[in-house]
Amino acid sequence: MKGKKKRCLLFVLLIIVNFCVAQQDAQYTQYMYNTISVNPAYAGNKGALNIVALYRNQWQGLEGAPTTQTLAVDTPLGVLQRLGLGLSVINEKIGPATETYINLDLSYRIPVSEEGELSFGLKGVAHLLSVDFNKLELFDLNDPSFSTNITNKFSPNVGVGMYYNTDRFYLGFSVPNLLETSHFNTNQSLGEERINYYLISGYVFDLNNNIKFKPALLTKLVFGTPLQIDLSANFMFYEKFTLGLAYRVSAALSALVGFRISNSLTLGFAYDRETTELGNTRFNSGSYEAMLRYDLPKISIRRLTPRFF
């Protein structure tokens, strides 16, 4: 009986959270280290080859809860490094559904002042969707809407972005998916993916010679759903160790920690605790996220000190 209740709960969550236009794109707490996932203009921005691997386990303990694996690579191109190229693969599984996004990002960066650069980005997306309806506890086994599984259904998309930054400040606006896609239709009209609008910003303060402080903001707007606002505050100590807190308004509180293993390798962890009713259930022990980032050492001296974003 308990198993059936959990499967019914999963089905309700699947509809409410994923397909009825709540959480559309993959969600990250450490988004500040994975900016290319939401803004193609970030490709090549760090001035060297950059590789990020990220794993997220959301709502640990809840059967069928979302898990996300991400691998992203970006690099500048050309003698002047004005062009940027990025490739990322995102795989997300929730209940019976598995989604894979293959993203190709191209950016062009121009200096607009002695310290500032403005980048424009274009994203191409290949989306694959698979749904195994046999994993659901259906109320009507003869419902034709769920009689045929979906296997690697392909949907293309495109996105755009702008990104301005100095060594201390960044501001970006992006729309990673310009096309509204209906992945599949049932009597409940499930599977519609709406346009996501992102605004990100942050600033790095030097509190003293050894401590940096960076408040950051991410907002995501999907028409028909509440505005998502992520606020974070991170401290970097001796350019080696980072510690921070984040708040997803009306959704979750988070703790973040990171460590620069070497000049090229950074390891990060995050833990989210839901502030909604979902966080009070005994099936949910929070969300966990791990990140590993590799930055190829820069040959140029365009930026003399490590950037905190």
| pLDDT band for position 243 (cuts 50, 70, 90) | very high
d(CA 107, CA 162) in angstroms, rounded, equals 9
- For residue 136, pLDDT beyond 80: no
User: In the CATH scheme, what is the homologous superfamily, with its name and number, of domain 27-295?
Assistant: monomeric porin ompg (2.40.160.40)
The residue ranking higher by pLDDT, 262 or 283, is 262
pLDDT at 63: 76
Nearest C-alpha neighbor of 33 from the set 273, 219, 302, 258: 258
Whole-number pLDDT of residue 260: 94
Beta bridge partners, 156, equal 126
pLDDT for residue 96 is more than 80: yes
Span 79-106, mean pLDDT?
A: 93
Return the percentage of the chain with pLDDT > 90, whole number.
56
More confident residue, 94 or 308: 94
Tell me: the pLDDT tens digits for 209-232?
999 999 999 999 998 888 999 999
**What SS3 string covers 138-199?**
CCCCCCHHHCCCEEEEEEEEEEEEEEEECCCEEEEEEECCCCCEECCCCCCCCCEECCCEEE
- Chain-centre distance for alpha carbon 138: 31
Retrieve residue 42's tokens: 């970030």
Interval 178-193: pLDDT, tens: 988 765 555 444 556 7
Whole-number pLDDT of residue 142? 63
Model confidence pLDDT, tens digit, residues 106-116: 999 999 998 89
User: Which residues are paired to 69 by β-bridges?
Assistant: 55, 91
pLDDT digits (tens, 9 = 90+) for 71-84: 999 999 988 889 99
Tell me what pLDDT residue 140 has. 59
Average pLDDT, the chain: 84
Q: Residue 40 corresponds to which tokens in the numbers above?
A: 């193609």
User: Residue 74: which H helix or E strand, with range?
Assistant: strand 67-77
pLDDT at residue 267 tops 70: yes
pLDDT top residue among 17 and 193: 193
Higher pLDDT, 278 or 150: 150
Q: What pLDDT does residue 44 have?
A: 94
Q: How far is CA 137 from CA 6, 11, 95, 185, in A?
A: 10, 8, 11, 19
> d(Cα 207, Cα 226) in Å, to the nearest integer?
35
What is the value of pTM for the model shown? 0.85
Q: Which residues, 6 or more positions from 67, have their beta carbon under 8 angstroms from its beta carbon?
A: 55, 56, 57, 58, 92, 93, 94
